[in-house]
Amino acid sequence: MLKINISFSKKVPGQEQYSSNSFYGSLEKDIPENLSNHEVQQAFRDAYELLENTVEQEIAHYANKQNIPLKHPVAPQVNSTLATQNAKSGRQYSGVQNTPSQISQKQATFLNRLGAERGLSQEQVDAMALNQFGVESIWKISKKQASQLIEQLQNQRAA
């Protein structure tokens, strides 16, 4: 007996910008030794097609179950002029907060660490969120907004 091993992997865009979901499947199959080259190739093709279709079905099932579009959604943009005006007037602008795409614990920790490396306190990092997005805390920004703040802090020199 001969063994053939086939694997199929596919990444699809995740819910957030710059994220992805990876799907993977592998298949091992025993085939008789006395097959012709053409029959071995056909066995590979058949197994690969089966595996590819199965992974594609799982992707579709996952997307439907999670109510996730297969293409990356475009997040609404926060009007930074309005956010700045509201911040100066003392009013709070909520933007796209309190959604499933709210900042992750990892992003918040990284933002605070980057801020500290650049000599900023937690309050100063929160003030950046207020100035840019009109919210009083980094905990009220979206993942996309957190990525923007991270990028901004990374472009600043460390203290």
Domain regions of the chain by residue span? 2-66, 80-155
Which tokens sit at 49? 């097609």
- pLDDT digit string (tens) for 84-97? 444 444 444 334 33
Q: Mean pLDDT for each consecutive 10-residue tract of the chain (159 residues)?
A: 90 77 87 93 90 85 62 38 42 43 85 85 88 90 91 79
- Which token pair is 145? 């907004």
Q: Which residues contact 27 (CB under 8 A, 6 or more apart)?
A: 5, 6, 7, 47, 50, 51
Structural tokens at position 2? 């001969």
